[in-house]
Amino acid sequence: MRTRLRLHHIKLSLTAWQHRGDNVECPCCGGQFKAFLPFGRQLRPDAACPACLSLERTRLLWLYLQRELGFPDIAGRMLHLAPEYILRKQLLKLAKQNPQFQYHNADLDPQLADEQADLQALPYPDQHFDWVLCSHVLGHVPDEAQALREIGRVLKPGGIGLLLTVRSGSAHTLEVPEQAVTPADKQRLYGEPDLLRLHGDDFIQRIQAAGLQVTAIDYRDQFTPTQQKKYGLGTGLRERIYRVEG
């Protein structure tokens, strides 16, 4: 799988020149293009970078790390769960250049990251990480409350977790018992067949219920409409950053 992913990205970077232009710019890979590409089961326009496949949320998260958390001039240890290809690549490069920065990336599927980990039982000591990145994972984890407690457990005091999820825009999270729905039902209800829930605005209360201090940040609002278009920062439904404090 890892080889297949790598080949896919090599193929993409070879074809990226076809999309060259100066209308949009990917903060993750630095490429400039005519447009970002449509992406998703329900196609979203201006979504995927033609070169690195970053999505709206990936680009916003990278901008947040750089502009708000001081990357790349930082010291500490990061855990990156279900790592996005381009962020993993950039953060591995940073760890090589900056000995003060230690980078761990993990996924339930060992083919998709350097370490294997179940978010509901993380194989790391208490208070071990200065940062935890967990983007668009919590909608897929069976025991979400346990996963949130695990993130809180491995964060150092003063550490920062950045959690993102797919939101419906409704007040309440939609969650039907797993055994009561088929993948086709989930596609219809949640928009994706492998989601176990579709978060509403109460995602913040679900995080708080796990004992975490959290602030919801619509970071794309820090950018002008022109900049939002240039960097392809989405509509806000998938890009809200929930910043938790260890």
Which residues lie near Zn ion (CB under 5 A)? 26, 28-29, 31, 49, 51-52, 54
Q: Which is nearer to Zn ion, 49 or 61 (CB)?
A: 49
* Minimum CB distance to Zn ion smaller for 54 or for 173: 54
| 52 vs 134, beta carbon nearer Zn ion | 52
Question: Considering the complex, what minimum distance in angstroms separates the CB of residue 48 from Zn ion?
Answer: 9
CB 31, min distance to Zn ion, A: 5
Residues contacting 186, CB < 8 A, separation 6+: 192, 193, 194, 195, 196
Q: How far is the CB of 234 from Zn ion (least distance, A)?
A: 15
Q: Which CB atom, from 29 or from 212, has the smaller least distance to Zn ion? A: 29
DSSP sequence for 192-227: STT-S-BB-TTHHHHHHHTT-EEEEE-GGGGS-HHH
Query: CB-wise, 26 or 61, nearer to Zn ion?
Result: 26
What secondary structure letter does DSSP report for 111?
Answer: G
- Nearest alpha carbon to residue 163 among 200, 215, 127, 229: 215
Least separation, in Å, of the C-beta of 123 and Zn ion? 31
Q: State how far the Cα of 127 lies from the Cα of 191, in Å rounded to an integer.
A: 35
DSSP 119: T
Question: Tokens representing 209?
Answer: 């219920």
Report, in Å, the least distance between residue 26 CB and Zn ion.
3
| Number of CB atoms found within 10 A of residue 172's CB | 13
